[in-house]
Chains A and B, each alone.
Chain A
Amino acid sequence: MHIMEGFLPHPWWEIWFLLSLPVVAFGVYKMNRMIMESRETLPLLAVAGAFVFVLSSLKLPSVTGSCSHPTGTGMGTIIFGPWITSVLAVIVLVYQAVFLAHGGLTTLGANTFSMGIAGPAVGYLVYKAATKVGLHLYLAVFLAATLADWATYLVTSVQLALAFPATFGGVLASFEAFAAIFAITQIPLAIVEGMVTALMFKYIVQLRSDVLVRMNVVSQNTIKKLKEALT
């Protein structure tokens, strides 16, 4: 989903910066307040950030014969919501843009929007909806992480299509061309990411369900049921 350095023409790179900046700024504010209020969230925040670090460094081969990488934002958005997750994504994107020539500083706004904002927002809503209708907790996590990953790549396709409309067929035609690369390649990767995130979430529930309950991520009732099922 990394749009390469210099590959978004004026005015698009500015537009995505303008859209992303307030979200990330509010994310920083929320993150600071959360850490001040409850220090106990700090290790979980580190784990969620590290999870993004690990997953987004893995370039995996897909059935389409090309490689792409998961995003790892599902975990962060489920526990901390999309605002704070956008900050975690920026850290990774800056690292990759500066040291790896992967993505870019001029396209940072657009890449932050797809990976740090749109994807996590979708994942967050999916998680809330899935737990509300009473799906099993880990199934809800799986769906949220999978769809957050997939939505990220769909948004990248939209961003590129808007900037490079086809001569015949316009934005829609070029969306199809970009989605043909990103969306299909990403399906198996998104599923693997969903599974790994669900597994990771299980361990966090086992170890620190108290923090998750206090943060309103999981209800006390759900934890009780999960523990009963284990015994």
Chain B
Amino acid sequence: MKIKLELLTLGVIVLFIAAFAYVSSTQNHEWSGADSQAEGVISDLTGGTYIPWFQSIYQPPSGEIESLLFALQAAIGSLIIGYFLGYYRAMSKIKAEKSAPEKEGKSDA
């Protein structure tokens, strides 16, 4: 199988962006979170009588701070992934170089 998974993934992401561009240019949407839309359904179903019985212990004081914390979450995750994949890559390169002379320069890493 010589399918380029990278190209396929890129294709899917381009399609995804195109779908967003199309919908946002032809229709009027708020692009709100599905999680908060569920809240609307709950109040429809209960006739607006449901009152949440517990409040979040901490609310980000503004949208900016909320997006900061979300970005932080993504950054921490990406850092860890990048670190270990880079580590693995370097390790396999070193291994290949060490065994290369005996194998007459043929590395399979």
Contact = CB atoms under 8 A, between A and B. Distances in A.
Interface in B24-71: 24, 27, 29-39, 41-42, 44-46, 50, 52-60, 66, 69-71
Identify whether the interface residues of B are mostly helix, strand, loop, or mixed: helix
Interface stretch (A26-34, A124-132, A201-209, A213-221): A201-209
A6 interface: yes
Nearest to A185: B34
Contact of A102 (B35, B38, B77, B78): B35
A65 B77 contact: no
B81 A51 contact: yes
A2 B37 CA distance: 11
A104 B19 CA distance: 31
A182 B29 contact: no
B99 interface: no
Interface in A58-84: 58-68
A117 to B, nearest CB: 19
17 contacts: A3-B35, A5-B54, A6-B55, A7-B50, A9-B53, A50-B77, A50-B81, A59-B70, A66-B33, A68-B34, A95-B73, A177-B41, A181-B37, A182-B34, A199-B5, A207-B89, A207-B92
Interface of B: 1-2, 5-6, 8-9, 12-13, 16, 19-20, 23-24, 27, 29-39, 41-42, 44-46, 50, 52-60, 66, 69-71, 73-74, 76-81, 84-85, 87-89, 92, 108
